Structure 1
């Protein structure tokens, strides 16, 4: 009888989170315990949103798994600490950056700038590992490139996904000595920009990985650092320091360090009889080795314990990310695995991972994905051991946990929460209070979670705000302003009769467009104030009147100062010799201004 409310709540939260992403521009932090469906939500949004979307993650492997790119490569951020402002008397070092040095050294090509200007939704996955200064650096770049210096994230909606109770961001001591002058802590929610705009805190509740209420309660207490004596006693029932599993039991050891996991895997592989087979992955195009989801060269033997590193995409799922099996047959191009006690053998298929970059299609005005490279390999890896860090997102039925010497907050929780049941866990080392570390700042931030009852009114308010932002964006002339500047730059390289007249005309249009864009920016802020006041009065007629006047003014200016002039100039130039490329540039400019004119006309259809 107790499960129905949880299911209803899960459905409401999932659906509400989706509505906030699709129908509002509010930043959202979507979190949840391990196994609650955060990755499912990300993929669902990616497949259903109509917004121009970019997905980023803090590491290469995480970026490949979520189908995006890394934060630093997309925004071209340095790996040095970023300080949001320079305090008086503070000595600027070469191994740090601030707003001015970051923007001065920014190397974004025109394609990347176009993507950022068209961006509507930025998804940051694994945000628990994103540092506060990194988020402020992202905010700085977005405001600058989008020419919206007073709007958090340059007006882009941000969806943060992750679990702060898992692995934290890493800041070396020498960098923290710089950053502690500016930040209260390393977590993303301590960024300066999030003091200006609070993300809506939504937590998915329904747990899919575990079913045992007692185990779920213990995991919650580990997560929140509220362990009681009874919880430790239950965990210590699983303490078996000399435990050696038999081959058919298929346990995996979760340990804290790479060298431990590598040594266990190599040692167990060497114990097996028979030759070692070598399976080399194929790299096409640009796919950095550091982003490989599994080894480029797999060294395997019959009898080896392996785990899958992707979910099965078939309707009837035969395996999942973390499912463990044993190799029964191999040839030079064939690997067969069995899951003991689960039916027939399975021939492992190769999978392909993509390294992408985002591009902007000016014809459709959509952000698109371009494949830079691909990595093809069997989606498995040796599975006698794995580090706790690399186990994030995996699910195990049986695990030997060596987390007593945990060195990072959240590692014990990550390790235990990978497992489907308490009975499937064997502890190699005791878990003591000192190894369960939950930062009090995370617990305080978690108290900002929005209540289920508050979401309806917030959603209605944010829908109206999104309508306002959408109509304000129709009056943004930055795109056509850029096109004019590009046209002027191209013109300087051309040689034809009457070039001087064309240059004079273009310089005059650039000047007028700069003035018009300044007017447009002031109007956008004015419209926001009028709509906010109208919301209080519940009378939007003043907003509609102001919008109609603005529409008439900007359309008149575009028609009289640009469209008519360019049409007349085109008619004069079209029969001149050696102007084919120039006419092409001229036509592109005309189309950009025509599109802007059409966009502003669309503001007549808005309703608040």
Structure 2
């Protein structure tokens, strides 16, 4: 007979995987919260990380501690503490955080509000600073009626000015965002309705005096179970549990056996799942502290048994199960301490094992603390909770038991130990009001898809970054090439009308489609618009915007100023590159998970063009690499001889252009950015000698490096050949996969060399207007000429006319 469907679990799964809503998953003890966590991990659809407030909880959840992943300082975190602490993350950690879709926080009841705000500060720092948690979706799992966060009085004195409560829901960042609350209600651990009713009354602090009296009937004075009965004592304090275990072990006759754990790599003692030195005797009552991962599933975390025999030579401990009487052969088990990393091949977040702890999966089990029992299930237990000092301790202890008959009270439970916190009562009422319906889920899916589509068509951030680039150049104009400001202006004249403004027009059409009944993913008319948009924006980004940005001359003799500019240009290039990959993914239509995957992969694949600069010459193989190295070596030697910088001799960008175009004459050399008549006279012969030696494959450079053989056809000659076949400059650019500005540069060189008449490329009236203006206004820059002509001509047309002579 198939198991009944748990509608709440299905609802939670859909919210986590198919929306961007934050989710608080709660529920009574034994309702399957931990099982749900592992199911979400197994789905592996979104990039996720699992964190928990303690080392043991993190190991049990298959994650890492909050403090280790986010490098938070210990102690109270007042607002801005993580920034003041100034801890730097390495590049891999930053890349991981930037591509994180989902953060799962287990045992959220034990997470302090200030720690959650510390997570928020870190994620804002490395992601979106304007959105809580940097835009990462949160899945918070826990039961607020169980163990609370540990906050010392002196710590709370520091936090009180900023927080109304220390519980996670007091987080300032969390209050800025909506989240749905889903409470699991089906209890898998207990089946006894009388016991379930009692537990619910304790959990909700509604227990009556009659119910408390019913519960206290389980008090048995001086109860001493038989050695083989399998009772475990749950105590509020650790020293009490240790004393019980030590006493009972000493009472057993026979030899003591000690087993030392082995650790490898990084596995802190605070996260050990059991004692590093385990001392046992035959007859000792033990508890399994790990699930059996073998096919037989002979034991589980929390199963009680008794040691039958210890075979020290074979390294085997024989344990008899208390409930079923089966004999279990126990060998050492391994726990793993993991670190999240990015797999360079799959671009997925993976759990890298950084340390292991190997020990028999057992601990003495006549007694255990209530704190360590959270998440476990026992057939028989003795509850010693009269000294309960924290909210939730009584409920956690009692709810570990499967039946009321299997529970014995060491002392009667007074009503005072069932602690009530008004803050939690108010929060629980709010949780009840935040339970979503199927309609909420449908709208959440719609909102998620609509938000991603709005993001896809927005070029606002790119426009802002380009403005910052231009402002940086205007502020430090003297430090850069005269060509840089016009290049950025030309890029802006492409990006704003063709990308930002067209993107806005597409975005203005979206509400019409969003108002229609189907979700965006299922709306075929909208999907057709997306496909058409991808066909337009993809080539624009690939062939015009990105090449124009990459070719902007950024060389400067002021290293600090150049680095400041490049930081912004890198961000702009990243933004455009990610846009390109997202539009490529949408060429066949839009789906939310596919879009997210494309966006995250693009973030990981991106490398700034300045870091590819030295590799540009390698595009055609080792031959180009040799030429590039030869030119750099010659440049550096010249700079050393004349006590100047390499940039002043020959900028890197110019070297790359030389490698790409390989001019055959001084006239062609003049067409290369970075060369003027004076520079050609000074260093032209040396440059041509290196290029000639490279072409012949027989000569040597100034430094004795033997250049390699050239390619068959220089790139500018390919452009001229295609022009002569009747193709327009734009058609050539499309055919070669280059930007129009690059093709125009080739044609300008050809005009200057007398290979192509300017009249074949520029209209006669345009030539006359440019020549007349230039003659009347000598010494102006290209951008100034264009402004003087009311921007009615292009930069390419101006350069071609000037190259032909005025």
Contact 1:115/1:359 (8 A) holds in 2: yes
Tell me if structure 2 keeps the 8 A contact 1:471–1:603: no
In the alignment, which residue of structure 2 is the partner of 1:78?
73
TM-score w.r.t. length of structure 1: 0.81
Larger Rg, first or second structure (1 or 2): 2
Larger mean CA deviation between 408-417 and 373-382 belongs to 373-382
1:121 aligns with 2:102: yes
C-alpha contact (below 8 Å) 2:538/2:584 kept by paired residues: no
After superposition, give the CA deviation of every residue in 1:190-231 in whole Å (9 maximum; x if it has no partner): 211222212211111111111110000000011011110111
- Equivalent position SS for 1:369: strand
Deviation at 1:59, TM superposition (A): 0.5
The answer to whether the Cα contact below 8 Å between 1:57 and 1:127 also exists between their aligned partners in 2 is: yes
Residue aligning to 2:775: none
1:25 to 12, 20, 40: 20
Asked if the contact 1:480/1:596 (under 8 Å) is kept, the reply is: no
Q: How far apart are 1:365 and its partner, in Å? A: 2.4
More strand by share: 1
Deviation at 1:317, TM superposition (A): 3.5
Counterpart position of 1:168: 148
Query: 2:429 — aligned with what?
Result: 447
Q: How does 1:175-186 map to 2 (within 5 A)?
A: 175-186=155-166
Matched residue, 2:356: 374
Per mean C-alpha deviation after superposition, the further-off stretch among 462-471 and 116-125 is 462-471
Decide whether the 8 Å contact of 2:537 with 2:580 is kept in 1: no
SS at match of 1:210: coil
SS of 2:308's partner is strand
1:106 aligns with 87
Shift of 1:367: 1.1
CA contact (8 A) 2:102 2:136 kept: yes
Who is 1:386 aligned against?
368
Residue 601 of structure 1: aligned partner: 584
Cα deviation per residue 1:110-141 (whole Å; 9 max; x = unaligned)? 10000001100100000000011111111121
CA-CA distance at 1:345 after TM superposition: 1.1
SS in 2 for 1:16: helix
1 CA distance for matches of 2:65 and 2:416?
Answer: 33
Aligned residues: 550
Is 1:321 the counterpart of 2:316? The answer is no
From 181, 187, 201, the counterpart of 1:207: 187
Aligned to 1:485: none
Task: Pick one of 452, 462, 465 that aligns with 2:444.
Answer: 462
Larger deviation: 340-349 or 388-397? 340-349
Contact 1:200/1:450 (<8 A) preserved: no
Do the aligned partners of 1:61 and 1:292 also contact (CA within 8 Å) in 2?
A: yes
Distance 1:565 1:157, change over 3 A: closer
| CA shift in 2, pair 1:601/1:215, >3 Å | same
Change (3 A) 1:527 1:108: farther
Kept after mapping to 2: 8 A contact 1:225/1:436: yes
> Does 2:257 correspond to 1:274?
no
- Cα deviation, residue 556, structure 1: 2.0
Residue in structure 2 matched with residue 39 of structure 1 by the alignment:
34
Aligned to 1:51: 46
Distance 2:37 2:577 in 1: 36
Q: Look up the match of 1:238.
A: 218
For residues 3-42 of structure 1, what are the alpha-carbon distances to aligned partners after superposition, in whole Å with 9 as ceiling and x for unaligned?
A: x9xx85x611111111111111111111111111111000
Q: Is the 8 A contact 2:72 2:82 kept in 1?
A: no
Partner of 1:401: 383
Please tell me whether residue 67 in structure 1 is matched to residue 65 in structure 2.
no
Are the aligned partners of 1:355 and 1:374 in contact in 2 as well (CA < 8 Å)?
yes
- Aligned-pair distance for 1:170? 1.4
Q: Which of 107, 132, 139 is the matching residue for 2:113?
A: 132
Partner residue, 2:643: none
Q: Distance in 2 between matches of 1:347 and 1:443?
A: 47
Helix, strand or coil at the partner of 2:247: helix
Q: Which residue of 546, 556, 560 maps to 2:540?
A: 556
Give the distance between the partners of 2:129 and 2:149, measured in 1 at CA.
Answer: 27
CA displacement, residues 581-608 of structure 1 (integer Å, 9 cap, x when unaligned): xxxxxxxx99997665232333452279
State the 1:561 CA deviation.
Answer: 3.8
User: How many angstroms does 1:242 deviate by?
Assistant: 1.0
The CA distance in 2 between the partners of 1:110 and 1:132, in whole Å, is 28
> Counterparts of 2:355 and 2:198 in 1: how far apart (Å)?
43
Corresponding residue SS for 1:448: helix
Q: SS in structure 2 opposite 1:35?
A: coil
- Do the aligned residues in 2 keep the contact of 1:77 with 1:137 (CA within 8 Å)? yes
Quote how far apart the aligned CAs of 1:555 are.
5.2
- Which residue of 1 is the match for residue 238 of structure 2? 258
Distance 1:267 1:475, change over 3 A: farther
Instruction: Report the secondary structure of 2:241's partner residue.
Output: helix
Alignment correspondent of 1:290? 270
Q: How many angstroms apart in 2 are the aligned matches of 1:530 and 1:83?
A: 45
Alignment of 1:398-547 (within 5 A): 398-449=380-431, 454-471=436-453, 535=514
Residues 98/417 of structure 1: CA separation in 2 closer, same or farther (3 Å cut): same
Q: 1:561 to 1:527 in 2, by over 3 A?
A: closer
2: distance between equivalents of 1:591 and 1:187? Answer: 39
After TM superposition, the structure 1 stretch with the greater mean CA deviation from structure 2, 436-445 or 255-264, is 436-445
Cα deviation, residue 467, structure 1: 1.8
More helix by share: 2
Could you tell me how far apart the structure 2 residues matched to 1:465 and 1:556 are?
28
Give the superposed CA RMSD: 4.0
Contact 2:266 2:356 in 1 (8 A): yes
Tell me, what secondary structure is at the counterpart of 2:430?
A: coil
Partners of 1:522 and 1:58 lie apart in 2 by 47
Gaps in structure 1 of 5+ consecutive residues: 85-96, 482-499, 570-588
Distance 1:244 1:144 in 2: 58
1:237-293 Cα distance to aligned partner (Å, 9 max, x none): 111231111101111111111111111111111111111111111211111111110
Greater relative contact order (CA < 8 Å, ≥ 6 in sequence): 1
- Check conservation: 1:527, 1:543, Cα contact below 8 A: no
CA 1:331–1:53: 2 relative to 1, 3 Å: same
Match of 1:576 in 2: none
Does the Cα contact within 8 Å between 1:168 and 1:409 map onto a contact in 2? yes
CA distance in 2, matches of 1:356, 1:525: 45
TM-score (norm 2): 0.62
Of residues 322, 326, 330, the one that matches 2:310 is 330
